[in-house]
Chain A
Amino acid sequence: MGEVSHRSIKPLQVNPIKLSEPMGATLAFLGVDGCMPLMHGALGCTSFAKVYYTRHFAEPIAIQTTAVTDVTAILDGGDYSIVEAVKNITRKVTPSLIGLHTTGLTETKGDDIRQVASQIDFPLVWVNTPDYEGGLESGWGKATRAMIEQLVEPTEAIDDSKVLLLPHVSLTPIEVEKIKEFIASFGYEVLALPDLSTSLDGHLGEKQAALSSGGIRVEEIRGLAEAGMVISVGDSMLPSAAALQKKNPFLRHHHFPHLQGLAATDALVELLLQETGLSRPHPAIVRWRARLQDALLDSHFSLGQTRILVAGEPDQIAGLCASLHEAGGRVAVAISTVDSPQLERIPAARVLVGDLEDAEALCGACDLLVTNGHGEALAHRCCKALVLRGFPNWEEVGNQLKNDVLYEGGAYFLFECANAATAAREGHVGSDRSDQKKEE
Chain B
Amino acid sequence: MADKPKIRELLDESACAHNKSKQSPCNAPTPGATSGGCAFEGAQISLFPYADAAHLVHGPITCLGASWETRATKTSYPGRDLTQMGFTTDISTSDVVFGGEKKLLSAIDYIMAHYTPEAVFVYATCVTALIGDDIDAVCRHAAEKYGVPMVPVHAPGFVGSKNLGSRIGGEAALAHLIGTKEPETTTPFDINLIGEYNVTGDLWQYSPLLGELGIRILSTLSGDGRIKEIRTAHRARLNVIVCAKSLISLTRKMEERYGIPTISLSFYGKRDTSAGLLAIAEALGDEGLIERTKALIAREEARLDGKLQPYRELFKGKKAVLNTGGNKTWSIASALQDLGIEVVATAVKKATEADRQKARETLGEAGVLMMNPGAEQAKIIDDTGAHLLLAGGRSLYTAIKKGIAFADVNQEKKKSYGGYDGLLNLAEDLKNALENPVFENVARRAPWEK
Give chain A's interface residues, CB within 8 Å of chain B. 10-16, 18-20, 22-23, 38, 41-52, 54-55, 60, 64-73, 75-77, 79-82, 84-89, 91-92, 103-105, 108-109, 130-133, 135, 204, 207-208, 373-374, 377
Q: A68 vs B127: C-alpha distance in the bound complex, in angstroms? A: 12
Q: A48 vs B157: C-alpha distance in the bound complex, in angstroms? A: 11
Question: How many of B's residues come within 8 Å of A, CB to CB?
Answer: 71
CB distance from B23 to the nearest CB of A (A): 13
Q: Is the CB of B106 within 8 A of A11?
A: yes
A84 and B63 in contact (CB under 8 A), knowing A73-B158, A79-B2, A132-B96?
A: no
Q: A80 vs B157: C-alpha distance in the bound complex, in angstroms? A: 19
Q: Is the CB of B89 within 8 A of A11?
A: yes
Q: A87 vs B221: C-alpha distance in the bound complex, in angstroms? A: 41
- In the complex formed, the residue of A with least CB distance to B156 is A42
Instruction: Return chain A residues, CB-CB under 8 Å to B130.
Output: 73, 105, 108-109
- In the complex formed, the residue of B with least CB distance to A17 is B65
Instruction: Return chain B residues, CB-CB under 8 Å to A18.
Output: 61, 65, 90
A131 and B61 in contact (CB under 8 A), knowing A20-B66, A82-B31?
A: yes
For residues 400 through 442 of chain B, which have their beta carbon under 8 Å from a beta carbon of chain A?
A: 400-401, 411, 442
- Is the C-beta of B372 less than 8 angstroms from some C-beta in chain A? no
Q: Is the CB of B103 within 8 A of A48?
A: no
Q: Is the CB of A48 within 8 A of B7?
A: no
CB < 8 Å neighbour of A12 from B56, B156, B157: B56
- Is the C-beta of B29 less than 8 angstroms from some C-beta in chain A? yes
Q: Is the CB of B394 within 8 A of A208?
A: yes
Closest 3 pairs (CB-CB, A-B): A44-B38, A85-B32, A11-B106
Q: Is the CB of B158 within 8 A of A55?
A: no
Q: Is the CB of A71 within 8 A of B59?
A: no
Q: Is the CB of B69 within 8 A of A374?
A: yes
Instruction: Return chain A residues, CB-CB under 8 Å to B393.
Output: 54, 60
Q: Is the CB of A16 within 8 A of B68?
A: yes
Q: A18 vs B92: C-alpha distance in the bound complex, in angstroms? A: 13
Q: Is the CB of A132 within 8 A of B86?
A: no
CB < 8 Å neighbour of A43 from B36, B62, B411: B36
A-B contact pairs, 8 of them (CB 8 A): A13-B65, A16-B68, A49-B66, A50-B35, A65-B35, A104-B126, A132-B91, A133-B93
Give chain B's interface residues, CB within 8 Å of chain A. 1-4, 6-7, 10-11, 28-41, 56, 59-70, 84-93, 95-96, 103, 106-107, 109-111, 126-127, 130-131, 156-161, 393-394, 396-397, 400-401, 411, 442
Q: Is the CB of B127 within 8 A of A104?
A: yes
A48 and B2 in contact (CB under 8 A), knowing A11-B110, A65-B31, A84-B32?
A: no
Q: Is the CB of B60 within 8 A of A131?
A: yes
Instruction: Return chain B residues, CB-CB under 8 Å to A68.
Output: 126, 158
Interface centre among B69, B111, B131 (most CB of A within 10 A): B69
Instruction: Return chain A residues, CB-CB under 8 Å to B31.
Output: 65-67, 80-82, 84-85, 88
A-B contacts, CB under 8 A, total: 225
Q: Is the CB of A79 within 8 A of B4?
A: yes
Q: A278 vs B67: C-alpha distance in the bound complex, in angstroms? A: 50
Instruction: Return chain A residues, CB-CB under 8 Å to B10.
Output: 71, 75
CB < 8 Å neighbour of B33 from A23, A50, A75, A92: A92
CB < 8 Å neighbour of B1 from A23, A45, A66, A79: A79
Q: A12 vs B90: C-alpha distance in the bound complex, in angstroms? A: 6
Instruction: Return chain B residues, CB-CB under 8 Å to A69.
Output: 11, 28-29, 158-160
A88 and B33 in contact (CB under 8 A), knowing A43-B157, A377-B69?
A: yes
CB distance from A387 to the nearest CB of B (A): 18
- In the complex formed, the residue of B with least CB distance to A85 is B32
Q: A67 vs B107: C-alpha distance in the bound complex, in angstroms? A: 30
CB distance from A124 to the nearest CB of B (A): 12
CB < 8 Å neighbour of A15 from B11, B41, B68: B68
A204 and B93 in contact (CB under 8 A), knowing A67-B29, A75-B10, A105-B127?
A: no
Instruction: Return chain A residues, CB-CB under 8 Å to B91.
Output: 132
Q: A348 vs B221: C-alpha distance in the bound complex, in angstroms? A: 46
Q: A11 vs B94: C-alpha distance in the bound complex, in angstroms? A: 13
Q: Is the CB of A16 within 8 A of B88?
A: yes
A130 and B93 in contact (CB under 8 A), knowing A13-B61, A23-B66?
A: yes
- In the complex formed, the residue of A with least CB distance to B64 is A16
CB < 8 Å neighbour of A14 from B87, B159, B401: B87
Q: A60 vs B395: C-alpha distance in the bound complex, in angstroms? A: 10
CB < 8 Å neighbour of B411 from A48, A51, A103: A51
